[in-house]
Amino acid sequence: QVQLVESGGGLVQPGGSLTLSCAASGIIFTMGWYRQAPGKQRELVASITRGGRTDYADSVKGRFTISRDNAKNTVYLQMNNLTSEDTAVYYCNDLIRGLSWGQGTQVTVSS
């Protein structure tokens, strides 16, 4: 099965930016970035098809940009103008196949 490894998280001040990466060990199809905040359910925040069509949750629209490099089997999430509400563990997954979840990458937005 394809393995997923997320990276790029960290501590950032409100208004700051981060770029997350999701590296897959094999071919991936429609991919999504999810996040799970403490005490909350995991939610889908952005998705991208192999052809590059994107979709975003209203909460991140205009601030987050999802992209991919099919040759590298990698998906990215550029996050700008971060707020405390964006604090969560971020995961990626294949929306079509529902792969095993990776370890995620922690994003903490705090002054």
pLDDT digits (tens, 9 = 90+) for 75-88: 999 999 999 999 99
Distance CA 5, CA 69 (A): 15
Percent of the chain with pLDDT over 70: 100
pLDDT digits (tens, 9 = 90+) for 91-105: 999 998 889 999 999
Please provide the DSSP assignment of 60-73 as one string: TTTTEEEEEEGGGT
Report CA 64 to chain centroid distance, whole Å: 9
